[in-house]
Amino acid sequence: MQKYICVKDLENAALELLPKATRDYYKSGATEEQTLAENSRAFRRLRIRPKCLVNVECADMRTKVLGNEVCLPVGISPSAMQRMAHPEGEVANVKAAEAEGTVYILSTIATSSIEEVARAAPKAIKWFQLYIYNDREVTKNLVSRAEQAGYKALVLTVDTPLFGIRRADIRNKFTLPPHLKLANFDGDLSTKIQSTKGGSGLNEYVNGLFDKSLTWDEIKWLKSITRMPIIAKGILRSDDAVKAIEAGCSAILVSNHGARQLDGVPATIEALPEIVEAVKEYNTEVYLDGGVTTGTDVYKALALGARMVFVGRPALWGLTVGGQSGVQRMLNIFSTELEYTLQIAGTPTIADITRDMVCHENFYCKL
């Protein structure tokens, strides 16, 4: 694994190994993929402003999220159907998160069950990503199982009344391979995704299942059936962030669903500052995912107010290349790059990273 020295190395190796339909499913974005590109480009437009002659002998990357200490402010985002990347799928991913002392978020649409993932890594900090189904009993059952299995939070995806148009999946007539199933369900809900009427099997699967009538009132219902804190995932506007908190959410995950929902929305790092500003009076933690591929990306997000960042595709690339060891290698790369950034920038601990450590490139264009 040591031959992979950056996340891009893992990505390149993974893309060579994956079958075309799976590769395209993991890497593609919505329609023209403008936002997919901007998620990364927006980080490149930010500049770090290092301080000199600071004692950085003791670098410390630990932080706390929802009261739980993590060793690294880089967690693993929910990604669907991970056994397409590796036979152990979500199980290998959560074991890596446990070994490296960070957070793992399990997708509702997983190929390993809530209970299977919990048994595999009993000491890991596990959150469960949730979609609300038309059949509330299906949703209630998922929430109950996650709570009983020891998951620490619900990550409610709020940007998905339906799945976006992903042209690669339509062209490939994407379906889940027949030897796999959606492990959190039984019967038709677990296997319906294996068929298609000619388009994306995933889009056809969710079209009749997800509730398009959802409002913020649904948070009250969720809070009535669980003691787990609720994190709103998919927020890109400050007013939505405030609505989420006022409805009862405990944290915000700034996300555009990996640029897979609506093309032309802002990159997540662009949306982050206004959301952090809007919720500061509530003392609410804000997280970010989307486009994070280097330790300097992590640093920039932390400087702009994120408590922690999450990565989806990098974990899939590591998983494809080497299972648990590949995901751990991915996390180690982030850890090394972030540690170097902390020291060279003159901010040896996460708490030392302040807003003035990062600026937009236009700051240096003043005449």
H or E, element range at 209: none
- pLDDT for position 196: 63
Q: Give the residue, 12 or 186, on which the prediction is more confident.
A: 12
pLDDT above 70 (res 366)? no
pLDDT digits (tens, 9 = 90+) for 265-321: 999 999 999 999 999 999 999 999 999 999 999 999 999 999 999 999 999 999 999
Q: Is residue 97 part of a domain?
A: yes
Label residue 188 left, alpha or beta by phi (over 0 means left) and psi (-120 to 50 means alpha).
Answer: alpha
Tokens of 254: 């700034």
- pLDDT for position 35: 97
Q: Is residue 1 part of a domain?
A: no
Confidence class for position 195, pLDDT limits 50, 70, 90: low
The catalytic residue positions are: 257
Q: Is residue 242 part of a domain?
A: yes
Amino acid at 218: E
Could you give the number of structural domains in the chain?
1
- pLDDT over 70 percentage in the chain: 97
CB 258 within 8 A of CB 180: no
Average pLDDT, the chain: 94
CA distance 166 to 340: 37
Closest CA to 296 of 7, 60, 98, 97: 7
Q: Is residue 161 part of a domain?
A: yes
Of 175-189, 216-230, 328-342, the range with the lowest mean pLDDT is 175-189
Amino acid at 156: L
Structural domain boundaries enclosing 290 = 7-360
CA distance 211 to 348: 46
Partners of 125 in the beta sheet? 103
Residue 63 has φ and ψ, to the nearest 5°, of -150, 175
| CATH code for the domain of 115 | 3.20.20.70
CA 251 to chain centre: 14
Confidence class for position 1, pLDDT limits 50, 70, 90: confident
- Using a cut of 0.75, tell me whether the model's pTM lies above it: yes
Q: Is residue 211 part of a domain?
A: yes
Q: Is residue 2 part of a domain?
A: no
Residue 90 has φ and ψ, to the nearest 5°, of -60, -30
Q: Is residue 181 part of a domain?
A: yes
Question: Exposure of 57 by Cβ count < 10 A (0-12 exposed, 13-18 middle, 19+ buried)?
Answer: exposed
Which SS3 state, helix, strand or coil, does residue 185 take? Answer: coil
Question: Which stretches within the chain are classed as H helix?
Answer: 7-17, 20-27, 34-44, 89-100, 114-120, 136-148, 167-172, 188-191, 201-207, 217-225, 238-247, 268-279, 295-303, 313-344
Average pLDDT on 170-191 reads: 87
pLDDT digits (tens, 9 = 90+) for 197-214: 666 667 777 777 888 889
Q: Is residue 367 part of a domain?
A: no
Closest CA to 40 of 301, 261, 235: 301
- pLDDT for position 119: 98
Confidence class for position 100, pLDDT limits 50, 70, 90: very high
pLDDT digits (tens, 9 = 90+) for 221-241: 999 999 999 999 999 999 999
Closest CA to 215 of 257, 182, 244: 244
H or E, element range at 349: none
